[in-house]
Structure 1
Amino acid sequence: MALATLYAKAAAADKTLPACHAFIIDHRVRDESTEEAEWVKQQLRWKFEIPATIIPLTWPEQDPFNSLHRFETDARKLRYQALGRACREHEISELLVAHHADDQAETILMRLMKGRWRSGLQGMQAVETIPECYGIHGVYRSGSIRIHPGLPIPVVSGGIKIMRPLLPFRKERLIATCKELGVAWAEDKSNQDQTLTARNAIRHVMQKHQLPAALSVESLVDLGERMRGRVDFHKNHVEKLLRNSEVLCKLDIQTSSLNVRFPPSSMLLDRPIWSKKDVNDARNTAYILLDRLAGLVTPLEYTSASKLSGVVSAIYPELEIHNENSIHGPNSGGSLCAQGLWWQQSNEAIPSIFPRLPSGMRHPMDWLLSRQPLERHELGSSGLRLEYPPRSAAVPLVSAASDELEQWQLFDRWWFQIQNLTRDCTVVLRFFTTDELRTLMAKDKKLNPQTDPLRNIKNALKRVEPASLCRHLPALFLVSPEGKDQLVALPTLGAKTIFPEEAATPDWPCTWDVRYKAIDSGDMPLQELILPEFHQKPIRSREGVIEVKFSPKAKSGLDRKAVKAVRVKGSNEWVLDEMREKYVSWKQRVEMEKRAILKRAEDRFGRKEGLGKTVGGRDMPKSGDKSRGETSAVGTMDEGEAEGLAFLEMESKQDRWDGKRGRR
C-alpha cells in the first residue's frame, strides 16, 4: 500500500506522470489470501482510483511445501512470470515493486552467507530486467525490434523493466507514512512465518535478535552502496574504452560469433599500473570488459564475471597475481571455455578480421568468441531442440493476435517464429550433429553441383569462417512419419533446400521468421558493431532472381559493397543493368561489360576450331574467318579493343544512371 500511496500523491502533484495499473498476487498459500487480495483491490479503487488486477498463482501438481528452498524458488518464479505476462497483456513496460531497505539488507546478508562476495554484495538493483522470465517473448528483453540498413536479420529489444523506488527507505518509515496519510498497512501474513522460507528465517533473526553493528540494516545497506560504487567505476571505464574504440569488436549475428581485439592491459585503468592494488583494479576492469562482451554472444541467461578468471589470465597474463595460495592449471594455449563460450586466440586456423601488425605478424590481442561445444544434456532427442507438429485441418493457419507473441520461441541465441504447413511431418529446429555436418560437406561425385538440392546450403556453409562455427548454426529439419530427417533450411544464413517441385508448387513445408537476441551495444551504432550479410544473397529485379556472391572483404566489414560475381540465377552469363550497378565497383562493371561485348562478338561471328586467340577465356575468330557468312574485317577484335568499348559503354550507362538518380 505504501507504493500505491506515494505514487498517487506524486501523480496528483505532477500531471505528466502516466496512469498506473496495480497487480495483486494471490499466492493462495493460505485460505484467507484470496479475501485479502480482494480487500486490497477495493482499497486501491476507493482511496486512489487505481484500477487493479488480482493474479492467482497456479502451483505445480507436486506438493510445493515439501521443501523450503523449492517453495521459495517456485513462488518467486511463478510470481514474476505472472507479473510479466500481465504487463505484456496491458502493454506495460515498467513494473514498480515495493522492495525497501529492510528487504535489501536481507538480500545482502543472504548473499554473504552463500559466499557471493563480489558483485553479489551490490544487492538488488534499482532498475533491472524482470527476472525469472527467460524465454517469454515480449517480457524478457524482447517485443520490439531494432532494424538498421545492412543488418542481416533484425535484433530484438524491449521487454519489462523492474523498478524499485523505495529501496532507500526503511520499512518503519513507510508504515509511518501510510499511517499519517490514513492508509491501512497491508502485508502478506505468510512473510511472518519463519519456518516457511529462508528469507523469512533471516527476517525473524534480524528483527528479534541483537546482531553485531556490522550486520545492522544500515551497515548492510551501506555495504551494498559501496560495492555498487566500485562496480560502477569499472563499468564506466569499460564503456569509455568501447566508446573511444579502444576495443575493436565485430559481431556476426548470423553465426553469433564475436571478433575482438582487446586493449593492452595498460588501458584498463586511467593511471599507471604499479602497485598490487593497481593490478587488482585493472584485473577487475578486465572482468567487467570480458563479461560485457560475452553478453553479446553467450547462450546463457545469467553470466557471472567471477567465472572468467581463467579467461582474464589467458588474455592478460601480466595481471595474474602469484601467491602461495594461488592454484594455476595448465596453460590454455589460447583456447578455453567459460560463460557458455569458446574463447579462441587468433591463429592460422582462426584468422582475425582485423588488420595485422605493420610487421605482418598476427596481433596477440585478437580473439574469437563463439558458442562452446554442446554439453551432454544438450545432445540427443531430449536436448536443445524445438518441435513443431503437423498442422491440423481444424487449426487455423494464422493464430489469434493474442497468441502471436507466444509463437516466438527463444532457441539458444535467436528468437524464432515457425509454422509447420505440412499435414503429416514434424518440423524440428536443432543444431547439426558432427556426422551430419561431415556428410553434408563431403564431396559426392554422383551429384551435379548445378542441380544439387542442397547447393545453396552448402555454398552458405563454405562461406562460414572458421568452419567450426557451422556446428552451432540453427537448422530446420522436416521429419517424416517414418522418422527420416530432411534438411530444409539454415534460417540465420538465409539458405534453404531447393525442392525439385518448388517451381511448380508454391507450397513450402514451413515458414519462419528469425531475430537475434537483445544486445547491449552501448553508444555504438548497431551498423558499426554488427557485420553485414556475407552469404550468397538473392536479389530481385525485373529480369528475375540475381545471385550476388560477396567477397570475403564484405564479411570482414571492411568493404560492404565488395562483390565477386553477379549473374541471373540458372545462367552462366554475366548480367549488368542499372539496378545492379550499385552492388558492383566501377572496375568490376567495366570488366563485366567487356565480357558482355566479347560474348556478343562471339555470338555474332561464331567460333571455328583452331582459329583465333583466346580472349577472356574464349576463342575469338581471326581476320579472314568467314564463318556464318560474315565479313572477316568486322569480326576482328582483341581484348584491348573490347575493354575500350566497355569503358565507353560504361561511361554512357553511368550518365544515364546518374541522371535517373537526380545527381545531375
Structure 2
Amino acid sequence: MHAIQQVLHRSARPISVHEFRDAILATCKPRFPEARGSMHRPVGLAISGGVDSMALAYLCSQIRKLDPDIMITDHPCAGFRAFVVDHRLREGSTEEAHSVMKALHEMGIPSDLLPINWKKELGENVDVKNLSNIESAARRARYRKLGHFVAFRKMATLLLAHHQDDQYETVLMRLINGHRNRALIGMREASDIPECEGLFGVYGSGWVDDQTRKHPFYNTKLSKKERKSLKQELKFRINELMHEDQQAEDQLANLGVFDTTGADDSLGKTPIRFNWSPQLGSMPIENGGVSIHRPFLEFGKDRLVATCVENNVPWFEDHTNTDPTLTTRNAIRHMYKSCELPRALQKPAVLALSKSCQHRARAQDAEARRLLQRTVLHDFEPHVGTMVVQFPNLQVHGSKGASSSNEYHQHRLSQKRIIAALALQRVIALVSPEYQAPSVTNLQNVVSRLFPSLESLPDASRAAPPKAFNVAGLHFMPIESSPPSVASSALLHPQIWYVSRHPYVATEPLPQWRISAWSPGLERRRRPRKPRSRWSVWLPWHFWDGRFWIRLTHRLPSRLVVMPFLVEHSKDFRTALPPQDRARLAAVLKQYAPGKTRYTLPAIYAEEPVDFDNVVSHPKHPEPRNDLAINASQRIIGKPILPPIDRSKMRLLALPTLDFQLPGLEKLLQHEVRFKKADRDTLRTMGSFDGGSFAPLRASSITHRSRNIRKLCINSKRRERLLHKRQGHLGEGHQAAGG
C-alpha cells in the first residue's frame, strides 16, 4: 500500500462528486430506451486495488449521497457491489485481495472475492507462468469470472476504472502495430462485456427470462395513459389520411381515364413477396447481458491519485505492472515515461487523434444507419436463422475526366465503400454464427459483390450476373425477384439475397453438445416405487453453433447429443411421424429451410437405440467431458473420456427449432430454444420488416400502427402524383387541339 505525498500532485486537482456524477450520466446511457426501468438495481464495480479502481470505489460510495436515485443505464441505482479478482499469478496476491476488500468494507461497499483457478481454465498440465500470452489469458479469465458473478448477482452493469492514460497506451500500441482509422478510437465508453461468449445471462442473453418475471427489470408494457393517448392520435391520423385518400380517388375517377384500383395495385407491388404458408409460431429472440462502462476516460491518472490522496483512500501497487519485459503494455508504459517521444506520439497528440477518429466514426455510423433505412429486409426467420435482404443501389456522381476530379471521385467512392461495409457488419451480425463481424477491410470484396456500382472497374464488369458467396459463416445466394423485363433495370429493382448459414465443411468437426444419460442415483433409492416420475434437472443454457440457445431436461437411458440435422437420419424421422405431421414437416422444410439450409438446423439425437416402451435408467452411465475444451490438455483429470459418436447408432428424436419430435417424446424429453441476440435497432431501421415476437410489446404496438399509417401516406402521395401527371397531359392535349 502506498501513500504518495500530496506535494507531488499540486497541479492535479481531485475529482469532485459532481464531476463524477456527470461522467456517469454521460457514459451510462440507457440500453433499452423503449423500456421503463423503475425497479432499483445494483451496479457492479471491477476493483483491482490500484489507485484508479480505488478512486472509482470511493466516488461511487459518495455519489448516492448526492443523488440517491441516480439512473445508471436503465435503472435507478440500488447500491454498488465490488468484485475483486485474484489472478494468483504472484506471491501475496490473495492477502492483498483481502486487504482491498477490507478497505472497501470501510467505505461501505460490499465485495466478493473471485479467485481464478488456472487448472480449471487451462488444464492440469499447463503451467500458467510459462504462457507466452499470459496477458490475454488473464484478461479472458478475468472478464469471464466478472461476467458470471455480475449476472449471478442480478446485475447488468459493470463499471471499470480505465482512465485517460490507459486510453493513451491503448491507442499508442495500436499505432505501433500498424492499425489505423476506426482502430484508433481506442477503448469505448460503453460496450458489451468481452470474452464471455456462451455464458447465458452475460453474453447477449437474459432478456426473455426477465420478461417472464412477475416484476421484470425492464417494463415494456404501455401504461393506460400512453395507450389512451396513442389510440386517440392514431385514430385522428388514420381518419385524416383516409379522407385525403378518398379525395384523391374521387378526382382520379372523375377523369375517367383508368381504373384507380388497378393503378394502385400495380404501383404498390414490391419486387418480391415471401408468404410463408406454414406457421411455426413465435421464436423468442434473446437480448440483454452485461455491459461495461468506463466513466474515467476523460480523467488522467494524476487526478485519480489526487482524489485518493485528498480523501485518504488507500491503494495497492502491483509491481508486475512496472516490468517492461512482462507485457507489451508495460513496455509501452516504460517507453513513454523514460523517453522523450516525438511530439506526434506524446499524450496530447495521440488523444487528439483518438478524438478525431471518434468524431469521424460517429459520422460514418450515422451514414451507415441512413443506408440501412434504404435497405429492405423482406424476411427474417429466427427459427432457421435466415433472412431475405435487398440492398439499395449506391451511386457516386461526379466527373472522372480531370485528374483532380478523378481523385475526388475515388475519395468519395472509398468513403461510400466504408459506409457500405459498416452497414453490412450490422446486417451480417443478425444471423452470423461468428462472435465478431468481419472488419471493414475484410468486407471490401463483399461490398463489390453487393454494391456493384461502387466498384472502380469499368462498367462492363458490373453487367456480370451476381453469384453466391460465403462470408462470416453465412451463404449469400442471389434470387430472382421479378420478370426479366423488369429486372433489367438495376436502378428500379436491386438484387435480392437469401442469407443462411453456410453448409458445414466436411473437414471441420460439427457443432455438438453431449448430454449424459438419465440417472436418478440416490433419489431412486429414496423413491423406488416411482422411478419414471423423476426427471433430470434443467441443464444450463448451451449456446449451440453461435446461433441458438438450447436447454433441456430428460429421463432417457441414453446419452443425448445436439448436432446438425443429418441427411442420413431424415428418412427414418419422417417415417416415424404421424401422416399429418409428416406432410407438415415437408411443407415447413420446403418453405422455411430449402435446399441445404435444413441441414444446418439443430437436432436432438439419442446416441444409442432407445426402447420408448421400456425406459430403464443406467445409474453408472459416464458423464460426457466438457466440449468447450480447446485441446486435450484441458480435459479435467478424473472425468471419463467418452468414445467418438457412432452416427449409425444414433436416432433422431426432435427438431427443436421447428417444433417437430417423435410421438410421445414429450413424456421423456422437454426442450427450450431461443435465437441469439439480434440487434433490435438494426431490425427496426431496415425498411419493410414486419416486427414479430421479438419486438417488445411497447415498441411492437407503435411500430405496427405507424407502419399502417405509412402505407396510407405512400398510397395517397402516389395517387396525388398520378393526378397531377394526368392533369398535365390533359392540359397539353387541350392546348394542341386549340392550336
- 1:127 aligned to 2:190? yes
Does the 8 Å contact 1:389/1:420 carry over to 2? no
Q: Which amino acid aligns with 1:308?
A: L
* Equivalent of 1:27 in 72, 79, 87: 87
Cα deviation, residue 181, structure 1 = 2.0
Q: Which residue of 2 aligns with 1:646?
A: none
Secondary structure of residue in 2 paired with 1:120:
helix
Q: CA deviation at 1:469?
A: 1.4
Name 1:55's counterpart in structure 2.
Answer: 114
Deviations 1:59-89 (A, max 9, x none): 13311121332x1111011100110111011
Over 3 Å counting, the alpha-carbon distance change for 1:30 and 1:510 in structure 2 is same
Question: 2:397 & 2:548 partners in 1: Cα distance?
Answer: 32
Which residue is equivalent to 1:388?
515
After superposition, residues 281-430 of structure 1 pair within 5 angstroms as: 281-303=415-437, 304-321=439-456, 333-347=466-480, 352=481, 359=486, 363-375=493-505, 378-379=508-509, 383-394=510-521, 406-423=540-557, 425-430=558-563
1:230 maps onto 2:389 in alignment: no
- 1:219 Cα deviation from its structure 2 partner: 2.2
- Deviation of 1:126 after TM superposition, in Å, equals 0.7
**CA gap 1:268/1:248 in 2 versus in 1, 3 angstroms:** farther
Percent pairwise identity? 31
Query: CA 1:91–1:343 in 2, change beyond 3 Å: closer, same or farther?
Result: same
Match of 2:205 in 1: 142
Contact map agreement 1:388 1:419 (CA 8 A) in 2: no
Q: Is 1:492 the equivalent of 2:657? A: yes
Alpha-carbon distance in 2 for matches of 1:448, 1:167: 61
Compute the displacement of 1:448 (Å): 10
TM-score (normalizing by structure 2)? 0.62
The alpha-carbon distance between structure 1 residues 346 and 340, as it changes in their structure 2 partners (threshold 3 A), is: same
**Residue 138 of structure 1 aligns to a residue in which SS?**
coil
| DSSP 3-state at the match of 2:129 | coil
CA distance in structure 2 between the aligned counterparts of 1:291 and 1:104, rounded to whole angstroms: 25
Instruction: Please report how far the alpha carbon of residue 317 of structure 1 lies from its aligned counterpart in structure 2 after TM superposition.
Output: 2.2
Provide the residue aligned with 2:591 in structure 1.
463
Deviation at 1:334, TM superposition (A): 2.2
The structure-2 alpha-carbon separation of the partners of 1:129 and 1:448, relative to structure 1 and needing over 3 Å to count, comes to closer
- Correspondence for 1:14: 67
Distance 2:678 2:496 in 1: 21
User: Judging changes above 3 Å, is the alpha-carbon distance between structure 1 residues 395 and 452 closer, same or farther for their aligned structure 2 residues?
Assistant: farther
| Residue 97 (structure 1) aligns with | 160
Structure 1: gaps of 5 or more residues: 534-556, 559-664
Q: In the alignment, is the contact (CA less than 8 A) between 1:239 and 1:522 conserved in 2?
A: no
Query: Structure 1 residues 228 and 368, CA, compared in 2 at 3 Å: closer, same or farther?
Result: farther
Counterparts of 1:485 and 1:310, CA distance in 2: 41
- Counterpart of 1:258 in 2: which secondary structure? strand
Q: Is the 8 A contact 1:388 1:420 kept in 2?
A: no
1:276 aligns with 2:410: yes
Partner of 2:230: none
Q: Of residues 285, 289, 301 in structure 2, which corresponds to 1:159?
A: 289
Answering whether residue 97 of structure 2 is matched by residue 37 of structure 1, we say yes
| Larger RCO, structure (CA 8 Å, separation 6 or more) | 2
Count how many residue pairs are aligned between Structure 1 and Structure 2: 502
2:392–2:494 contact (8 Å) kept in structure 1: no
Change (3 A) 1:357 1:169: farther
Residues 1:392 and 1:25: Cα distance change in structure 2 (over 3 Å): same
Structure 1 residue 283 displacement after superposition:
0.9
Matching residue within 352, 373, 384 for 1:255: 384
- Counterpart position of 2:238: none
1:64 alignment partner in structure 2:
128
The AA in structure 1 aligned to 2:511 is L
Question: Which residue of structure 2 aligns with residue 553 of structure 1?
Answer: none
Which whole-Å CA distance do the structure 1 matches of 2:543 and 2:499 have between them? Answer: 24
Contact 2:511 2:563 in 1 (8 A): yes
Out of 308, 319, 331, the residue aligned to residue 201 of structure 1 is: 331
1:471 Cα deviation (Å)? 2.0
1:21 deviation in Å? 0.4
Please state which structure has a larger fraction of its residues in helix: 2
**TM-score of the aligned structures, taking structure 1 as reference length:** 0.68
What does residue 145 of structure 2 align with?
A: 82
Give the aligned residue type for 2:411.
K
Aligned-partner Cα distance in 2 for 1:82–1:528: 41
What SS does structure 1 have at the residue aligned with 2:592?
coil
Counterpart-to-counterpart distance in 2, 1:399 and 1:203: 53
Secondary structure of 2:674's aligned partner: strand
The root-mean-square deviation of aligned C-alpha atoms, in Å, is: 3.6
C-alpha distance in 2, partners of 1:452/1:164?
A: 57
More displaced 10-residue stretch of structure 1: 228-237 or 452-461: 452-461
Q: What are structure 2's unaligned runs of at least 5 residues?
A: 1-53, 71-76, 213-219, 221-278, 399-404, 524-533, 611-645, 694-706, 709-739
**Aligned partner (choices 292, 299, 302) of residue 169 of structure 1:** 299
Secondary structure at 1:137 match in 2: coil
For residues 276 and 377 of structure 1, what CA distance do their matches in structure 2 show?
41
Which of structures 1 and 2 has the bigger CA Rg? 1
